[in-house]
Structure 1
C-alpha cells in the first residue's frame, strides 16, 4: 500500500504537471481566479488531515490579521500576472534554499532522521549546499536573459517567496512580526481577497491591453486542476513543509518542457536531469518510504526517449531515401540552375557594337546618350553583366510614352504634394555629388551618401539631373493599365495603412493586384523543370516566386499585403526610385543604402569555416514586416515563419520525401519537425498597438538581442523581408553560410542572381522547408550541395556584387533617367 502522505504528494505532483502542461499565458490569470473560487469548496467538502503539529500548537498560533491576508492575495495575483506575461519563473528554484534557511532559523526543520534516506537524497533535499546546487542547476536550465522576463521573474520570485513565508509555521519569536497564515483556517477570507485582487488586476489589464477573451472550457478546466493542485499541496505541506511546494512546481515546469521543441540536445538532456533531481528533492522532503514516487520520473523520461527516437528515425529516413542513385529534387534544381548561370555569363556582349545591338534587340530603341562610355567603364571594371539590366528597362519603358516635359511635370507635381514622402535629389556631373532635400525631413536615410559613394569615380558621361527617391521601405508607384491610357494621374495616394488603422487588407490587395487575371491563372511551363521525384513545392525561379499574379494566396501570407506600416501609393506614371518593389508595382529599383551601412557589412573575421559551423538553420530578428493590430500579425510573413518552428497549430502538417516499401520515394505527411535543426526566434516586438504587442510577447518566446553576425556561426542562414527588402542578404551571400531566401520583393540585382546556384529560395508557404533543411543538414549529399552553393555564392559575390558593380548599375540607371526627362524628347508611340 502507498503511504497516505506519499499519495497526497504524488497527487499534488500529477495535478501540478497536468496544470503546467495545459497552461496558457493568456488564460493564466483567469484560471487562477477560477482556482480561488473553487478552493474553499474543495477544502470544506473534503476533511483535511491534521498537520504534523499537535492540535494545541496549532490553536496557539496567532490568527492572521486582515492586512497579511491582503498581502497574500497580492502575491498570488502578482505571480499569476507575471506567469501570464512571461510563462515559467526561472528563478523559482532559488526559493528552496532560501526557505530552508528560514526554516532552520525558526527551528521548524524536518523531524525525521536522515538515516531514512540515502545520503545523496537527504543532502539535495535538506542541506543548504544540496538545495543551492539544485537551485543553480535548475536556474541555468530555465534561464532567459530577456530583460523584460528577467524583471518579471524577479517580481514573481519575490511574490512567491513572500507568499510561502507567510505560510511557514514560525513560532512565537517571529509570528509577532509575520503572522502565520493557515489556509485551512483562513480559506474563506483568503478566497475573497484573492478573487477580489484578481478581478481588479484583470480589469486594469483589460483597460490597458484590451479585452483578451479566454478560451472558456480550457480555462475552466485549468482552474479546476489549479484548485486540486493547491488542495493537495495544502495537505502535503501539513505533513511535511511548505518548502515542498517549490520542487513540486519546478518539477512540473521542467518535466512538461517539450523535448521536441529544444534547439540543442544538451538543453533537452539537462531538462531531463533537472527533472529527476527535483523529483529526488520531493522524495527527500516526504517522511516514511516514498520510493513509489520514482515512477513519476517516467513523465520526463518517456517524452525524452520518444524525441530521440523521432530524431534518429528522421535522420535515418533522410539518408536512405535517395541512396539508390536517385537525385533529390534539390540536386536537380541545382543542376538546372547551373546551366542557367552558364547561359547568363556566356551570352553577355563582348564588344560595344554587340552591346548596342543587343540593347536595340531587347528594347526596340537606341541606347541612351553616354552608353558607350558606360560600356567602357563596365568592361574596364570587369563587370560580368553587360546586357541583362531588364529590371531597369521594365519600369523605365512605360514612362517613355510620356514626353520629357510631362515626366518633369509629374515629378514636380508629386514633390509639391503635401506628405508626398519622396526625396528630391540633384546629381551634379561636374562635382559628381548628389544632394537630397525633403519638405519636412532632414535625415535622408543615406540616399545622398549612396550616390556620392557610388558615383565619385564615374567619368563625366552622365548629365546633371534631378530624380525622386521614396522615403519609405515599402514600394509606392501603382500604374494600372487604365492609368496608362487616361490622363496623367500622380496624386499621392490617400490610403495610409499604419498606426491609425485606416484601410483594410482587401483594399491593399485589390490595389496591388488590380491588373492580375487570377481566373486564367496558369503556371508558366517554361519555368518548370521535370523531376523524377515528387514535387515538394520548391521555388522554380525568382520571377515565379515574387509574381503575386501567380500567387493569390499571398494576400494572407505577407505583412506588406496584409497591413503594412506605411503604404502611400502614388497613382499614375511617375519615376520614383525605391529599394524594392512588388511585381505589379512600378518603382524604379535602386540598390539599398543599407547594403553600404556598417551594420550590414560582411566581416570575414567574424565568419568561421564550414566545418566549424553549427549544422542547423539560424534566424533572429524583430517583428517588422507589418503593423499589428488585433490578431492580424498571425498572417505576417515573419510571424508565420517563427510560428511554424515554435508554435505550430495542433493540426500542423510537415511534408517529407521518404522511400516506401515498394522502393518509390513519395511525399508523406508528418506531425514531426526536428527542431534540433533550427535556431529561430524573435528578439524584439514592435510596430504594433499595445494590445497586439502584449499578445505577441505572450505568444512568442522573445529572446535577448543577438549579435549582428550571429548567423555566420551556422551553415544555413535564413533571410526574409522586413517592411521592405532585407539588408542582411549581401552579408549572407558573401559568407561561408548558405542563404535561404524568402521574399516577394523585386530588387536591382534580380538580373544577376540565380537561385539554387548562389542561394536557396524558399516559398511563402514554406511547405518545402522541413524536407529542405533535413536534406541539407542530415545527408552527405545535401551537405555537399550546400557547401557547393556557399562556394559559388561567395565567388559570384566577389565578381558581381562589388561596390563597383552597384556603381555600374546606378551609372546606367542615371543614363536612362537623363534620357527619360530630357525636355526635348517626345513621347514614344510604342514601347517594347
Structure 2
C-alpha cells in the first residue's frame, strides 16, 4: 500500500481503482471549485485589463491572493472547532499516533524540515521567475508558437516516468503492458499536445497583422521561453505536490494549513520579484518605467476578483493533490483550457459568415481533444473492478458527442453569403448620400436657413449669419444647413465663461513651449502672432490667408492653433459629459429675441494676447514617446466601456468583437463608428499615436485649441488645414504625369511614405499601421481570409489562404514601400525595420496618378494627400483614426473605399475590385476565382472626384472656417447669451 491514500501505484489494478475512487471523492467533496474557477479565469483573461502591465499586475494579484489565503487561515484558526474532516483544519491538526511512525524523532527530523524549507524557498524563486517570464511572453505574444497549457501534463508525465524508473518500481501490467504503466501517461499527454496543435489552426483565417519579425530570433526566443515557462510551471506543480504531502510542521507536530503555506508563498514571490525588478532600474542601460507607476485604481476591483478566484483555485487544487495525483489535476485542467479555446473559436463563427472555420479541421480538433480525454480515462480505469464495456461506451459517447457538436456547428454557422457585401454597402451608401444631401441643403433662402439652424441646434445663429449665408451661396456651396461638426466641437465650451475662454487663449499663446500659435483679428484684419516657431510659420500664414477674404466681417478676437500634428485636448468622460449637460441646459433657457450686434470694444478684452510677456505656467503635459491609449485616450470613454475595462493582450489574433460593431463581415460599414475608440480596446496596439507619439503635449482640461484633425474622444476644435488650403500636395496632372481614366490605369495598389506615425523604441513599430500594411503586402507570414465565390452560383464564402496564395491570386501588383529611410525610431529598431521591411526610392507626387488603387494612411496626424487622391481618377483606399472637418460630408463606399485599421478586409476588398484567379506553375491562369469589378471601382472613383470638386474646394474651406469663427466670436463675447441673428 502507498503511504498516502491515493499516491500513484502501478503495481495492480486495485490501486488504480482506489485512485479513481479518491479522484471522484475529491471532485465531489473538496475540489468542485476547480472547474468553475478555471473557467472564470480563462474567460476573464481573454481581454482583462490587468494584462496592460502584465508582470506588475500579476505580482499585485499574487500578493493580494496571499493576503486572502492568510486571512482565511487566520479565520479558520480562530473560529473553527476542528471537527473531523472539516475543511482546512485537517492539515493543522497533530498527526494521529498511528501515523507518527512515519516521522523520526525531532532531532532526526531536522534534515527533513530543512529540506521542506528549501523546497519552500525554491518555490518562491520559481514563482518570481514566472512573474517576470509572464510579462515578457504577454508582450511578445504575437510570436507565440503554441498554447500554454497543453505541454504541462506531458512534462509531468515524463517526470512520473523518470521517477518510476529511478526508484526501480516494477509492477504487473495486466492490461496493455507498459502502456498501462507510467509510460502510458506520456503517450496520452503527447496525444493531448497533438489535440492542442490541432485547435490552433482553427483561427488561421483571423490572425492579427501585428508583426513578428522574421529577420530576428524573436520567434525562436519566444518558443524557448514558452518551453521554459512550461518547465517552471511543472517544477512549481511538483513542489506544490511535495509541500502538500509533506507540509511544513512545527516541532510539536501540527502542520501549517494549506492557506498559510500558499499565502506566504504568493506574498513572498511577489515581494521577491518586486525587489529584483527594482534593482534593474539602477542599471545604466535601463529604460524601465518606475515600478507600479502606471497602476490604475480603476482596475483594483478586477484584481481583487481575480485574486479571490485564484485563492479558491489554490485551496481546491491543494486538496486535490493531497488525495490524488498532480498529473491527473494537470490533465484535467489542460483539457478544460483546450476545451475553452476550442469552444471560443467555434462560438465566434456561429451565426456569422466571418470569421470562417474549416469544417474538417474543426471536426478533427474536437475528435482529438475528446480522444485524449478518453484515452486518459481508459488508462486510469482498471479492468477487473469495472465492466469491460465501459471504456468502449465512453469512446462511443465521445464519437456521438463530437458528431452532434459538429452538426450543430454546421447548422448554425452561416457559411455562404447570397450577395457580396461591397455591393450591398455601395447601394446603402448611395441611398444615405441622397438623404444626407437633402438635409444638408434643405433651406432655399436666408429665412429657411435661420429656421433650420434653430431646429438643429436649439438657438439662433450668430451675428453675421446673413453675411455668411451670402458668402456661401455666392460661392455655390452645396452645404448650407449641416454643420453638425462645428456644433459638437464648440458645445462644451459654453460651460466656460467668455472671460475664461479669452484668458485660456491668451495664456496658451504666450508660452512657446505649448506649441501653440495665435492668429489675431483686429478691425477686420487677420495677422499672425509675431513669434511663431519658424518651422511652422507657413501654417499660421496659410490660416491668415484663408481668413483674409472674410476677416472684415469678423469681430475682434484671438484664435490659437495647434502647430503639432497630434491632437491636444482630451478631457475625461465624466468631466466633458457634465460640461455638455451644462451647455445644453443653458441653450434651452435662451430667449430668441436677441441682438445681432457684437459687443463694443472687444479688442480690450484680448489685451493679454498683445503682451510679449512669457507665461511660465503651461496647461499641457509632456506625454511623447509613451503609451497614450490607457493613460490618456481611453479616459474619454464611459467607465463601463471596453476601452476602459478590457485589454486585448492576445496580439496574434484579430479582435473580432472589437471590429464587429462597425463591420459587415470583414468589410467596414460604419465609418464614423469605426473611429470611436470606446468599443475597440485593441486599438492600443494598432497605431503609432496610441503606442508612442513622437510629439504629444496634451491637456486634461478643456482648452480652446484649434487643430487640423483629432481622434475620437478628443476635444480640439476642427478647422480646415492650411496644408490642404495651400495645396502642399496638389493634384496637378500634366503631359509628363497624366491622369488616365480609371480603367486605363495600371492595376496596382500604390503607397509611398515614411515611418512618421510614431516613435519606435523596444519594438513598438510592430503595431504601427504603416509598417503593418507594408509587412502584410510584402512579407506576410500568416494565413489570410478572402471572400470568394463559393461552389453555389451567386453565393460567396470566406476561404483561408496562405500569404503566397493570396498575393499571387490577385490580378494586380502591390507597390507599397517606405521611401528612402526609416525615421523616428531608436538605432536598434531602425536596423530591424530596414532589414524586415526594406526601403525603396522616393517618387514624384504626380506619379501616383498612373496607378488604379491609391492607399492612404494616417501619419502622426491626418494624411495631407487624401484630398488629392479624391480629386484624381484613381480609387482611394483610406485607413484613418484621425478625423478632419470634411469627414461628416464624405460617404464611404460612394466617395472612397474604407479600410479597417486591422487590415483584415484588405485582401477581400482587393479581390473584389481587381479580381482573383489561380495560377499554375508555368504562370498561366488555371481558374478565375472572381472577376474584377472594374465598373464598380470606376463608379466610386468618379463619384469621389465629382464630390471633391463640388464640396471640398478652397472656397468650401473658407465657408467652413467663416462659420466656425462666427460661432467662436459669439462664444467669447461677454453678451453671448444675448447675441443671435433673428432673420
> TM-score per shorter chain, which class?
0.5 to 0.7
Residues 523 and 340 from structure 1, CA distance in 2 versus in 1: closer, same or farther, beyond 3 angstroms? farther
What is the SS of the residue equivalent to 1:644? Answer: helix
2:489 match? 395
Matched, 1:652 2:779: no
Does the CA contact (< 8 Å) of 1:417 and 1:492 recur in 2? Answer: no
Shift of 1:495: 3.3
Distance 1:461 1:214, change over 3 A: closer
Change (3 A) 1:801 1:664: closer
Cα offset, 1:562, TM superposition: 0.7
CA-CA distance at 1:334 after TM superposition: 0.9
Q: Is the 8 Å Cα contact of residues 658 and 668 (structure 1) preserved in structure 2?
A: no
Determine the C-alpha separation between the residues in 2 that align with 1:524 and 1:552: 7
The yes-or-no answer on 1:697 pairing with 2:834 is: yes
- 1:622-671 deviation per Cα after TM superposition (whole angstroms, max 9, x unaligned): 1110101111100001111111111213x332332331358742222211
Residue pair 2:418, 2:795 contacting (<8 A) in 1 also: no
Please give the secondary structure, in 2, of the residue aligned with 1:507.
coil
Give the 3 Å change call, closer, same or farther, for CA 214–556 of structure 1 in structure 2.
Answer: closer
Q: 1:626 aligns with which of 746, 750, 758?
A: 758
CA deviation after TM superposition for structure 1 residue 706, in Å: 1.7
Q: Tell me by how many angstroms 1:386 deviates.
A: 0.8
Which secondary structure does the structure 1 equivalent of 2:667 belong to?
coil
Do the aligned partners of 2:710 and 2:884 also contact (CA within 8 Å) in 1?
Answer: yes
Give how far 1:385 is off: 0.7
Please say if residues 505 and 704 of structure 2, whose CA atoms lie closer than 8 Å, have aligned partners that are also in contact.
yes
Distance 2:506 2:548 in 1: 27
Work out whether 1:414 is the aligned partner of 2:508. yes
C-alpha displacement of 1:716 = 0.7
Give the match for residue 305 of structure 1: none
Corresponding residue number in structure 2 for 1:720:
857
Instruction: Give yes or no for contact 1:578–1:590 (8 Å, CA) kept in 2.
Output: yes
What is the TM-score normalised by the length of structure 1? 0.56
Flag the 1:692–1:668 CA change in 2: closer, same or farther, 3 A.
same
Helix, strand or coil at the partner of 2:709: coil
Report whether the alignment pairs 1:404 with 2:498. yes
Whole-Å separation in 2 of the counterparts to 1:768 and 1:526: 12
Partner of 1:464: 556
Task: Show the counterpart of 2:742.
Answer: 610
Distance 1:623 1:741, change over 3 A: same
Aligned to 2:806: 673
Question: Which residue pairs with 2:878 in the alignment?
Answer: 741
Report the 3-state secondary structure (helix = DSSP H, G, I; strand = E; otherwise coil) of the residue aligned with 1:770.
Answer: helix
Match of 1:386 in 2: 480
Q: Is 1:517 aligned with 2:654?
A: no
- Across the aligned residues of Structure 1 and Structure 2, the Cα RMSD in angstroms comes to 3.4
Given that 1:536 and 1:667 are in contact with CA atoms closer than 8 Å, whether structure 2 keeps it comes out as no
For residues 417 and 762 of structure 2, the distance between their equivalents in structure 1, rounded to whole angstroms, comes to 51
- With over 3 angstroms needed to count, the CA separation of the structure-2 counterparts of 1:539 and 1:461, relative to structure 1, is same
The equivalent of 2:466 in structure 1 is 372
Q: Any conservation in 2 of the 1:383–1:805 contact (CA below 8 Å)?
A: yes
Match of 2:422 in 1: 330
Q: Which runs of 5+ in 1 are unaligned?
A: 1-210, 221-323, 530-534
Residues 429 and 613 of structure 1, relative CA distance in 2, 3 Å threshold: farther
1:466-519 Cα deviation digits (max 9, x unpaired): 01101110000112234445999x953323213xxx566642444455767228
Any idea what the Cα deviations from partners look like across 1:693-723, whole Å, max 9, x if unmatched? 1111111121111221222111110001010
Q: Which deviates the most, 733-742 or 399-408?
A: 399-408
TM-score (norm 2): 0.48
**1:618, 1:717 within 8 Å by CA — same for their partners in 2?**
yes
- Write the mapping of 1:680-691 to structure 2, written as runs, cut at 5 A: 680-683=816-819, 684-691=821-828
Could you tell me how far apart the structure 2 residues matched to 1:780 and 1:216 are? 41
Please point out which of 678, 684, 692 is paired with 1:549: 678
Please tell me whether the aligned partners of residues 610 and 737 of structure 1 are also in contact (alpha carbons under 8 angstroms). Answer: yes
Per-residue CA deviation, residues 203-249 of structure 1 (Å, 9 max, x unaligned), is xxxxxxxx9767769999xxxxxxxxxxxxxxxxxxxxxxxxxxxxx
Contact 1:527–1:540, Cα closer than 8 Å, also in 2: no
Alpha-carbon distance in 2 for matches of 1:781, 1:725: 31
Q: 1:524 to 1:508 in 2, by over 3 A?
A: closer
Consecutive unaligned residues of structure 2, counting only runs of 5 or more, are 1-214, 225-415, 584-616, 647-655, 916-929
Q: How many residues align?
A: 503
Mapping of 1:190-269 within 5 angstroms?
Answer: none
Distance of aligned partners of 1:664 and 1:328 in 2 relative to their CA distance in 1, 3 Å threshold: closer
Shift in alpha-carbon separation, 1:769–1:429, aligned structure 2, 3 A:
farther
1:495 maps to 2:646: no
Moved over 6 A (4+): 211-220, 519-529
Q: Per the alignment, do residues 542 and 555 of structure 1 end up closer, same or farther by CA in structure 2, a change over 3 Å counting?
A: same
The structural deviation recorded for 1:823 is: 2.8
Judged with a 3 Å threshold, the aligned counterparts in structure 2 of structure 1 residues 682 and 515 are, in CA distance, closer, same or farther, namely farther
Corresponding residue of 2:456: 362
